[in-house]
Structure 1
Amino acid sequence: MKKIILVLSVTLAFFQTFSQDTWFETEFSTEIAKDLEFSVSPEIRFKENLELNEYFLQTGLEYKFSKYFKLGAGYRFGYNINGDDEHESFGRFLVDAKTGFKWKNFNPKFRLRFTNDDDFADNNEATNYLRYKLELEYKIKKLNLEPYILNEWYHDLDAKEFSKSRFQGGLMYKINKHHKIGVYYRLNTYLNSTKHIKNILGLSYKFSL
């Protein structure tokens, strides 16, 4: 256990040297019927100096058609905080198609997501996106560790162009069959914006029944 804590601490310290924002993610999931999973995912996002930037709650349902294919849908509702400490609400729906397989200790995955942006503000128009995410996970069974890397691209369907890409590397630790904790570094690249790049340190916790 001490070795695991050391590995996570070193990983956290390494990622923190590159990060600008800090995100805290949680997920609680359970199977409510055969092959049908329900999840609730609260998340809090901070800017530099741990200044609160955004918080939301996402709920979802996911159905497993086979060991290689899943479909899911969900909704996210939350608030952005602007410079005047005002809370601006937003809502977002999503539809997912997932596939993947296991080969030895490797687990490659692919997710296609259709989603929209809508902050409910006046004169704001929702933007529809297709998001393509490719992930590779590796299981170190003796240590209950799961390092992974992923790459995701945001395709703006209205503008007919890619507007954002995301690279992420992280490490999950499986405490037992119900609990996991993890840390990750995320690099968001905005392809058509002056802010260009955002570096993010993330901490995560997952509970499943």
Structure 2
Amino acid sequence: MQKLILLLSISFIGFQAFSQRTWFDAEFSTEIVNNLELSVAPELRFKEEFELNEYFLQTALEYQFNKYFSLAAGYRYGYNINGDDEHQSFGRFNLDAKTNVKWNNLQPKFRLRFTNADDFSDENENVNYLRYKFELEYKIKKLDLEPYVLAEWYHDLDLKEISKSRYESGMMYKINKHHKIGVYYRLNHYLNSDKNNRNIVGLSYKFKL
């Protein structure tokens, strides 16, 4: 276990060489009734020079219809911090449809999300989006590692165009049946704008009861 945690630490340090920003997130989830899961997820997001830029708490309910398909709804409430150290609150909701298929140790996933904010810029603009996320996860059972890659596209429903994309690579380590830790590298990419792209490295922790 110590060697695997060291591997994640080395990966985090390596990702830092390419990143501009650092994010820390956690998720606590439990099944409250049969097939209905409640999750609570706090997150801290830091800008360059490790300056706190945003923090929030997200709650969600997800209903699993079968092993291939689920629906979820979530709400996020948090604060942005501007240059004058003022905190500006924001709220965001999302509706999700998720599907996944397991094939041996390989697990392709797709998520369609409707949301009223972009989760992309510092301003958390109130814009309606459809987000299309494709993810491919592989389980290395002997090491309890789950490396993955994903790509996501943001469809601006007001402008009627796909304006942003997100790419991510990372891995999760399963400590036991309740706890996981992970590291990832993420690129937030503007497609039709001269805004600067964002390189992000993150650490994750998940607890499932």
Bin for the TM-score computed over the shorter chain = over 0.9
Q: Which residue of 2 aligns with 1:56?
A: 56
CA distance in 2, matches of 1:208, 1:5: 19
Q: Which residue of 2 aligns with 1:202?
A: 202
How many equivalent pairs are there?
205
Q: Which residue of 2 aligns with 1:26?
A: 26
Where does structure 2 lack aligned partners over 5 or more consecutive residues? none
| Structure 1 segment 159-198 matched on structure 2, within 5 A | 159-198=159-198
Question: CA distance change for structure 1 residues 190 and 125 in 2, over 3 Å: closer, same or farther?
Answer: closer
Percent identical: 74
Q: Secondary structure at the match of 2:142?
A: helix
Q: Which residue of 2 aligns with 1:110?
A: 110
Q: Which residue of 2 aligns with 1:80?
A: 80
CA distance in 1, matches of 2:104, 2:14: 29
What's the CA shift for 1:2?
A: 2.9
Where does structure 1 lack aligned partners over 5 or more consecutive residues? none
Question: CA distance change for structure 1 residues 162 and 138 in 2, over 3 Å: closer, same or farther?
Answer: same
- Name segments (4+ residues, structure 1) moved above 3 Å: none
TM-score normalised according to structure 2 size: 0.95
CA distance in 2, matches of 1:94, 1:171: 25
CA contact (8 A) 1:149 1:169 kept: yes
CA contact (8 A) 1:91 1:118 kept: no
CA distance in 2, matches of 1:141, 1:162: 37
CA contact (8 A) 2:118 2:129 kept: no
What's the CA shift for 1:196?
A: 3.2
What's the CA shift for 1:118?
A: 8.9
CA contact (8 A) 1:90 1:118 kept: no
What's the CA shift for 1:166?
A: 0.3
Question: What do residues 157-189 of structure 1 show as CA deviations (whole Å, max 9, x unaligned)?
Answer: 011011110000001000000000000000000
Letter in 2 for 1:97: A
Q: Which residue of 2 aligns with 1:139?
A: 139
CA contact (8 A) 2:149 2:170 kept: yes
Question: What do residues 45-82 of structure 1 show as CA deviations (whole Å, max 9, x unaligned)?
Answer: 00011100000000000000011000000100101111
Question: What do residues 15-48 of structure 1 show as CA deviations (whole Å, max 9, x unaligned)?
Answer: 1110000000100000000000000000000001
Q: Which residue of 2 aligns with 1:9?
A: 9
C-alpha RMSD of matched pairs (Å) = 1.6
CA distance in 2, matches of 1:144, 1:30: 21
CA distance in 1, matches of 2:24, 2:95: 23
CA contact (8 A) 1:133 1:153 kept: yes
Q: Secondary structure at the match of 1:117?
A: coil
Question: CA distance change for structure 1 residues 125 and 187 in 2, over 3 Å: closer, same or farther?
Answer: closer
